[in-house]
């Protein structure tokens, strides 16, 4: 089916927010959230976003430049927001940001952000065509325009 025959969705339609609490099993001996655990939470949030947009099972194809800006500590509340920047033929780019919040101060700070690419697959595990994405806000339009350059760079690397 051609993309134009499928009704495009907006980034807001599939935007996904996940909240977690950093528990002892999620941390290193210093009580700092393990990087792999945070990436797992980000992967799940973006998978939900991709699957809600495409209405297909999706697999992670790549994760770009995961940057651990500040540590989250045991007891912090971690909020992860996954928002689609662009849908291509079978792949989708999703921008994921994670914040940690101290319970007592209620102060939230950015701990991580990354671009994830997911590919929608059919019952045979073959990439399949998905709906388009229609950006609405000026930020969404900028992200949409820049996504094609990022796609090219990641496929070349
Ligand atoms: C991702 C995967 C489905 C792509 O399959 P493929 O046969 O290589 O597919 P194609 O070359 O036809 O590419 C399909 C799409 O994937 C994109 N893609 C392929 N490799 C990619 C990569 N490394 N990074 C980003 N996008 C990628 C292509 O650009 C293409 O996008 P488009 O259709 O929107 O233009 C396949 O490589 C795979 O199954 N990988 C393992 C996924 C996995 O196990 N993830 C972890 C668990 S969820």
What are the residues whose beta carbons fall under 8 Å from the beta carbon of 2, sequence distance 6 or more?
none
Local structure of 136: helix, strand or coil: coil
**Which tens digit of pLDDT belongs to each residue from 37-54?**
999 999 999 999 999 999
Instruction: Cite the beta strand spans of 41-153 per DSSP E.
Output: 57-68, 77-87, 91-101, 108-121
Nearest CA to ligand 1 atom 21: 61
Atom of ligand 1 nearest to the CA of 92: 34
**Superfamily of the domain at 3-156:** Hotdog Thioesterase (3.10.129.10)
Per-domain boundaries in the chain: 3-156
Ligand 1, CB cutoff 6 Å, lining residues:
59-62, 88-91, 117, 119, 121, 127, 154-155
Specify whether the CB–CB gap between 73 and 22 falls below 8 A: yes
The torsion angle over the Cα atoms of residues 26, 22, 20 and 49, rounded to 10 degrees, is: -50
Tell me, what's the pLDDT at 6? Answer: 63
List pLDDT tens digits, range 54-109. 999 999 999 998 888 899 999 999 999 999 999 999 999 999 999 999 999 899 99
- Other CB atoms within 10 A of residue 64 CB: 15
Report CA(61)–ligand 1 centroid distance (Å).
5
Q: For atom 38 of ligand 1, which residue has the closest CA?
A: 61
Task: Please report where in the chains the tokens 């655990």 appear, as a residue.
Answer: 37
């Amino acid at each position: 089916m051609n993309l134009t025959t499928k009704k495009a969705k907006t980034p807001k339609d599939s935007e996904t927010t996940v909240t977690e609490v950093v528990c002892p099993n999620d941390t290193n001996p210093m009580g700092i959230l393990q990087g792999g655990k945070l990436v797992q939470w980000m992967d799940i949030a973006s998978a939900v976003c991709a699957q809600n947009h495409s209405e297909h099972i999706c697999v992670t194809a790549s994760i770009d430049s995961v940057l651990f800006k500040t540590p989250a500590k045991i007891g912090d509340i971690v909020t992860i927001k996954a928002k689609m920047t662009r849908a291509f033929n079978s792949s989708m780019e999703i921008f994921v940001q994670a914040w940690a919040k101290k319970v007592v101060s209620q102060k939230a700070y950015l701990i991580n952000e990354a671009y994830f690419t997911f590919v929608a697959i059919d019952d045979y595990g073959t990439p399949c065509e998905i709906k388009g994405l229609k950006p609405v806000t000026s930020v969404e339009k900028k992200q949409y325009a820049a996504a094609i350059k990022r796609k090219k760079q990641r496929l070349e690397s």
